[in-house]
Structure 1
Amino acid sequence: MTIATIGIDIGKSKFHVCALDDRGHVKLRRVFSRSALIRFLSNTPPARVATEACAGAHFIGRKAEAFGHDARLLPAQYVKAYVKSQKNDYADAEAIAEAATRPTMRSVPIKSIDRQTLQLLHRQRSGWVSERTALVNRIRAILLEFGITVPKGIRQLRRALPWVLEDGDNGLPHRLRELLAVLWSDMSRLDERIETLTTELGALARDDPQLRLLMSIPGIGPIVATALAAGIGDAGAFRKGRDLAAWLGLVPRQHSTGGQTRLLGIGKRGNPHLRMLLIHGARAVLRVIHTRDADDGLRRWVERVRSRKHANVVAVALANKLARIVHGVLRDRVPYDPHRLSA
Structure 2
Amino acid sequence: MSIVTLGVDLGKTVCSLVGLDAAGKVAMRKRLRRAGLVAFVLNLDRCVVAMEACCGAHHLGRVFDGAGFDVRLMSPEYVKPYVKAHKNDDRDAEAIAEAATRPTMRFVRIKTQEQSDVQSLHRARSRLVSERTALINNLRSLLLERGITVAQGRKKLEAELIVFADEEHPDISPRIRGLIEDMRAQWRSLDARIAAFDKEFMTMAQEDVAAQRLMSIPGIGAINATAFVAAVGNAEAFRRGRDLAAWLGLTPRQASTGGRQKLLGISKRGNRYLRSTLIHGARAVLHRLINEPSQLGAWLRDLSARAHKNVVVVALAAKLARTIWALLRKEQGYQRVLAA
Same fold (TM over 0.5): yes
Of 295, 298, 302, the residue aligned with 2:296 is: 298
1:140-171 Cα distance to aligned partner (Å, 9 max, x none):
11122222222211111221212202212433
Q: Are residue 159 (structure 1) and residue 165 (structure 2) matched? A: no
* Contact 2:282/2:317, CA 8 A, preserved across alignment: yes
The AA in structure 2 aligned to 1:91 is R
The AA in structure 1 aligned to 2:235 is A
* Contact 2:17/2:93, CA 8 A, preserved across alignment: yes
Match of 2:318 in 1: 320
* Contact 1:109/1:233, CA 8 A, preserved across alignment: no
Would the alpha carbon gap of residues 169 and 276 (structure 1) be closer, same or farther in structure 2, given more than 3 Å must change? closer
Residues 82-121 of structure 1: pairs in structure 2 closer than 5 A: 82-121=82-121
Q: CA deviation at 1:291?
A: 5.1
The AA in structure 1 aligned to 2:165 is L
Match of 2:6 in 1: 6
Distance 1:148 1:313 in 2: 35
Q: CA deviation at 1:200?
A: 0.5
Match of 1:307 in 2: 305
Residues 267-286 of structure 1: pairs in structure 2 closer than 5 A: 267-286=267-286
For 2:265, what is the secondary structure of its paired residue? strand
Distance 1:95 1:160 in 2: 57
Q: CA deviation at 1:342?
A: 8.6
1:249-298 Cα distance to aligned partner (Å, 9 max, x none):
11111111111111111111101111111111111221111553x2x222
The AA in structure 2 aligned to 1:58 is H
Residues 173-192 of structure 1: pairs in structure 2 closer than 5 A: 173-192=173-192
For 2:19, what is the secondary structure of its paired residue? strand
* Contact 1:109/1:234, CA 8 A, preserved across alignment: no
Would the alpha carbon gap of residues 285 and 329 (structure 1) be closer, same or farther in structure 2, given more than 3 Å must change? same
TM-score after normalising by structure 1 = 0.95
Q: CA deviation at 1:332?
A: 0.6
* Contact 1:213/1:335, CA 8 A, preserved across alignment: yes
Match of 1:133 in 2: 133
Deviating 4+ runs (over 6 angstroms) = none
The AA in structure 1 aligned to 2:167 is D
Match of 2:329 in 1: 331
* Contact 1:248/1:274, CA 8 A, preserved across alignment: yes
Match of 2:288 in 1: 288
Match of 1:51 in 2: 51
Residues 258-269 of structure 1: pairs in structure 2 closer than 5 A: 258-269=258-269
TM-score after normalising by structure 2 = 0.96
Distance 1:145 1:90 in 2: 53
The AA in structure 2 aligned to 1:215 is M
Would the alpha carbon gap of residues 260 and 37 (structure 1) be closer, same or farther in structure 2, given more than 3 Å must change? same
Distance 1:35 1:290 in 2: 56
For 1:237, what is the secondary structure of its paired residue? coil
Match of 1:197 in 2: 197
1:46-76 Cα distance to aligned partner (Å, 9 max, x none):
2111111111111111111111111111111
Match of 1:16 in 2: 16
Distance 1:234 1:71 in 2: 20
The number of residues matched between the two structures is: 340
Higher mean displacement: 273-282 or 190-199: 273-282
The AA in structure 2 aligned to 1:33 is R
Q: CA deviation at 1:12?
A: 0.5
* Contact 1:41/1:67, CA 8 A, preserved across alignment: no
* Contact 1:244/1:324, CA 8 A, preserved across alignment: yes
Distance 2:213 2:108 in 1: 23
RMSD of aligned Cα (Å): 1.5
Distance 2:92 2:167 in 1: 63
1:200-229 Cα distance to aligned partner (Å, 9 max, x none):
011101111111111111110001111112
The AA in structure 2 aligned to 1:289 is L
* Contact 1:128/1:194, CA 8 A, preserved across alignment: yes
For 1:171, what is the secondary structure of its paired residue? coil
1:22-69 Cα distance to aligned partner (Å, 9 max, x none):
211111111112231111222222211111111111111111111111
Q: CA deviation at 1:181?
A: 1.1
Over the matched positions of the two proteins, sequence identity in percent amounts to: 49
Unaligned runs of 5+ residues in structure 1 are: none
For 1:235, what is the secondary structure of its paired residue? coil
* Contact 2:11/2:34, CA 8 A, preserved across alignment: no
The AA in structure 2 aligned to 1:96 is I
